[in-house]
Structure 1
Amino acid sequence: MTDDSDTDRDASTPPRDDPTARREADARLRTDGGAERSSDGGGASPANTDSNGEDLLEAYRQKKQEDVDEDGEAEKRRQRELRKAKNGESIIVDFVANFVAGGDATFDPVKGRVLMSERRLILATSQTKTVVPVTSIFDIAVGQVPPEVEEFFDYTVMVGYIVGNRRRTTVIGGDRETIEKFSLLLFRAALNGSTTLVKHPAKVGGRVMDTPKRKTGLHLDYESVVFPGNDVLGEGDDPFEIDLASVIFFEVIERTIDDEKRLVLSVQHVENGQTVTSEISMGSRRKMNILGRYLRLIYHWIKSDVRDVEVEEETLEVLVGLYSTGPEMDIASLLDLDDDELDHRLGELFDDNLITDEELPCDLTPQGRFVVNEEIEDVNV
């Protein structure tokens, strides 16, 4: 399968103000989080997307009217129900934003509604409507404010897509939390459910493994990329996942697979204290570009959160101990610490957002796992 784009430009993302906020509910951006699948195959015709876009907008209008007409428990119940268009599409995103739609040469932002289903993104005002099929999206750049609109926006996501044979872009701006939450859902809509060719592990340390490639699915979580096995494909391979906080290095390379040149994402990450390389490939260069964008984005988010964190050696030992043992292990005895000293070290780790609670039992945050994995990599080197 071929695609219309082989671009994979770097994305530079500024630090997060609150790393825990991206997993919290945002009242302004309502979603069921259920965008699981997208087929690949380029842009839809303008006539079809316009008709289906009208269905989606009409479902939104009907839902808004129902919300006005009803009150009490019935209204609350309806607010929780998933809104659907006539063709069964689920509206998974709905919020108000300023945007420049469709590569408008004037770069004049307008205010309107951003709606998204599993299949399409719609930017609607009272006068205009731009419909972007998810399968036409070839690039998602978060946090980059184009020079043409930087005077209007503080934080943006830029979406590149194909209309006919022409590349177009739309820029959506807003507060950081809303844009980042929307962007994660957009990545999931574009990639979740994709058929993926995986070689895991391709290397353990510097040793090349004779591991066969296998087909599997793909699912994006905030903290990981999950390959859930081949149940859908009728096979029984075990699932595995790449913890994005464990990633040390990744690159996109070109390989010949089944007599066809394809992009391969090579990811080095820490697994059970060892450096492991996994290789991931999809037939669509468009999807490979988006997956590279996603890994780069989350990697920079996590790394930026710990950029200014300095952990004392004794406190780092506690963090590594928590990482290496289960919650049932007596960390104080293992590290020969009294209870007061352990409480002090746990408090420091919690204040630096490296663990989820300042009391045991607790888990490491993605930032905490990142710090530990860097330490493990330094030891391995």
Structure 2
Amino acid sequence: MTEQTEAGGEDLLEAYRQKKEEPESTEAERERSERRKKRTESGESIVVDFVANFVAGGNASFDPVKGRVLMSSRRLILATSRSKTVIPITSVFDIAVGQVPPEVDEFFDFTVMVGYIVDNRRQTTVIGGDRDTIEKFSLLLFRAALNGSETVVKHPAKVGGRVMDSRKRTTGLHLDYESVTFPGNAELGEADEPFTIDLASVIFFEVIERTVEGEKRLVLSVQHVENGQTVTTEISLPSRRKMNVLGRYLRLIYHWIKSDVRDVEVTEEGLEVLVGLYSTGPGIDLASLLELDENELEAKLEDLFEDDLITDDTAPCELTPQGRFVVNEEIEDVNV
């Protein structure tokens, strides 16, 4: 096993050991202790801590070992009784979820492969486990790699096919499972209101090249539905490494949402109910709007709820990301 170390790695592991050795007391004292012990002397918080099998540091033998996966906002540590691999979050250039490399597919059911750079050399680490654990860990890793990044955004770059004269603005970036938010950033002198891209509304994205701040940069062009219109937003980060990770994130969430509705068959009447929920607010008599009696509406809501397209089987309710994806696809078909 290749061992890689970085100042602070021992600090993070020691915080974990102290947490495990702390005797249990009252619930309130234990919670206070957890908050204290999950911080290192440098102020790092342990946000991930689980046991997994992994192939760390580009181990040429591809023999998985069992150990602990620890992560703070600054570093990822894979530790066994014999060695540890420390990966600075700033060195991560790729996060590939669910793609099991052929060299280890006999050992893992579900994995995340992390690409990173050490001493100007590209390395990979493969972490495997149950799907739920790996997906949750991957989302936290994406956030650690991208949240707070300085971002140049042009929004809207297009509305439909019409090119807009919107100015490029510097802002921040924040990932949630269902959205990417670009908040106003006072430190960067940004006074504009924040805006959010609903990832269930994304219908197409591609990487193009643009001149940004006087230099050629890669730009992520994202087409999404906003207020019933197809809108294009152009996003650029100074770091190509971060651009690659952001592209990976959008592809991953798009794939997850689309996969969840791939086998769902929505009737024309069910689609009308989804569109009605999408386009109206609380307090609207949906049955009257759709010219349905209450029993008919109730039956359709139950069907949509069973397909995970709405959050409840009775009104008022909201569309899930999968429900919004179905509606946005319909809107895009109408706009074409």
Instruction: Tell me the TM-score range normalised by the shorter chain.
Output: over 0.9
2:169–2:190 Cα contact (<8 Å) kept: no
Structure 2 unaligned blocks of 5 or more = none
Paired position in structure 2 for 1:73: 27
Paired position in structure 1 for 2:122: 167
Structure 1, residues 169-207: CA drift from partner, whole Å, max 9, x if none?
A: 000000000000000000000000000000000000000
- Measured in 1, the distance between the counterparts of 2:332 and 2:223 equals 11
Deviation for aligned residue 1:127: 0.4
What is the SS of the residue equivalent to 1:153? coil
- Measured in 1, the distance between the counterparts of 2:283 and 2:156 equals 30
Paired position in structure 1 for 2:234: 279
2:181–2:197 Cα contact (<8 Å) kept: yes
Aligned partner of 2:147 among 188, 192, 203: 192
Superposed CA RMSD: 1.1
Over 3 Å counting, the alpha-carbon distance change for 1:228 and 1:152 in structure 2 is: same
Q: Give aligned pairs, total.
A: 332
Paired position in structure 2 for 1:39: none
Structure 1, residues 334-355: CA drift from partner, whole Å, max 9, x if none?
A: 0111000000010011000000
Paired position in structure 2 for 1:36: none
Q: Which moved more, 1:161-170 or 1:230-239?
A: 230-239
- Measured in 2, the distance between the counterparts of 1:191 and 1:137 equals 10
- Measured in 1, the distance between the counterparts of 2:163 and 2:33 equals 53
Paired position in structure 1 for 2:280: 325
Q: Residue type matched to 2:207 in 1? A: V
Instruction: Give yes or no for the alignment of 1:378 onto 2:319.
Output: no
2:19–2:34 Cα contact (<8 Å) kept: no
Q: Give the percent of matched residue pairs that are identical in Structure 1 and Structure 2.
A: 79
- Measured in 1, the distance between the counterparts of 2:236 and 2:26 equals 51
Deviation for aligned residue 1:262: 0.6
- Measured in 2, the distance between the counterparts of 1:231 and 1:256 equals 25
Instruction: Give yes or no for the alignment of 1:91 onto 2:46.
Output: yes
Paired position in structure 2 for 1:57: 13
Q: Which 4+ residue blocks in structure 1 deviate beyond 3 angstroms?
A: none
Structure 1, residues 299-349: CA drift from partner, whole Å, max 9, x if none?
A: 000000000001110111011000000021110010111000000010011
Deviation for aligned residue 1:75: 5.4
> Greater RCO between the two (CA within 8 Å, min separation 6)?
1
Deviation for aligned residue 1:146: 0.3
Paired position in structure 1 for 2:109: 154
Q: Residue type matched to 1:60 in 2? A: Y
Q: Residue type matched to 2:134 in 1? A: I
Deviation for aligned residue 1:73: 2.1
- Measured in 1, the distance between the counterparts of 2:155 and 2:26 equals 53
Note the 1:295-374 alignment, pairs <5 A. 295-374=250-329
2:95–2:114 Cα contact (<8 Å) kept: yes
TM-score between the two structures when normalised by the length of structure 1: 0.85
What is the SS of the residue equivalent to 1:87? coil
Over 3 Å counting, the alpha-carbon distance change for 1:93 and 1:256 in structure 2 is: same
- Measured in 2, the distance between the counterparts of 1:359 and 1:212 equals 43
Structure 1, residues 109-136: CA drift from partner, whole Å, max 9, x if none?
A: 0000000000000000010000000000
Q: Residue type matched to 1:177 in 2? A: D
- Measured in 1, the distance between the counterparts of 2:29 and 2:52 equals 25
Q: Which moved more, 1:113-122 or 1:233-242?
A: 233-242
2:310–2:319 Cα contact (<8 Å) kept: yes
Over 3 Å counting, the alpha-carbon distance change for 1:228 and 1:258 in structure 2 is: closer
Deviation for aligned residue 1:223: 0.2
Greater share of strand: 2
- Measured in 1, the distance between the counterparts of 2:90 and 2:157 equals 30
TM-score between the two structures when normalised by the length of structure 2: 0.97
Structure 1, residues 265-324: CA drift from partner, whole Å, max 9, x if none?
A: 000000000000000001100000000000000000000000000111011101100000
Aligned partner of 1:117 among 72, 76, 88: 72
Paired position in structure 1 for 2:59: 104
Q: Residue type matched to 1:257 in 2? A: V
- Measured in 1, the distance between the counterparts of 2:27 and 2:44 equals 25
